[in-house]
Amino acid sequence: MKIKICGLTSVQDAENVNRYMPDLTGIVLFYPKSKRNMETGDAKKILAALDPKIRSVAVMVRPTYEQAQQAQDAGFAYLQIHGEIEDEILAKIRVPILKAYNISDLDRWDRYKDCPKIAGYVLDAAEPGSGKPYDLSVLQKIPRDGKLFLLAGGLNAENVADAIRAVKPDGVDVSSGVEYLSGENGKDPARIAAFMSAART
């Protein structure tokens, strides 16, 4: 079971994640609406602190080509893209793409499933990043095609095992579920440990 810890916002987050070695980590770029949004310069500092064995993911919403280029140049291993991707941008991106879908836009599945640059999918709630769970039964009908299938949205140490049994994804993606309960930005090492243990049980 692959694990992605998303929404890193500091070098301390990278150091906390390094202690437990998930498969992937995500950093939000070019999306000021998110409290986890990072400037490219700060993202590079986080990447520099991250163990190189952990694959890094730039999380973006409908990026321009210039934004996608900045993320590639920063050294991210993947681009995770929410929303539509213009054909011209898709043709120019050099690194593998994780196409993110909200449960409200699954009708666009066929638009990207045959694109060779799409390395996998992230299935998220109607409000990505909200930490709110949703009805997972809608995902059980999605055909699997051998590409990475990551389940996201409202996961935490208490519900991730049940979610894995229900959906049978290749991996799980968590952000809010491993943050400090006090509400401060940052990833709580104890909650990371609990989540990873529950996901891999």
Write phi, then psi, for 86 (nearest 5 degrees): -65, 145
Consecutive H or E run containing 160: helix 160-167
Contact yes or no for 176/3 (Cβ under 8 A): no
Q: Which position among 6, 13, 173, 188 bears the catalytic label? A: 6
Interatomic CA distance for residues 30 and 23, integer angstroms? 23
Residue among 19, 38, 21, 41 at smallest CA distance from 30: 38
Measuring CA to CA, which residue among 193, 152, 175 is closest to residue 18? 193
DSSP at 6? -
**Annotated catalytic residue 115:** no
DSSP H or E segment with residue 149? strand 148-152
Task: Please pick, among 13, 23, 87, 124, the residue that the annotation labels catalytic.
Answer: 124
- Paired residues of 37 in beta bridges: 28
**Residue 87 annotated to the active site:** no
Q: Which of 125, 189, 117 is nearest to 157 (CA)?
A: 189
DSSP state of 23: S
Active site residues: 6, 124
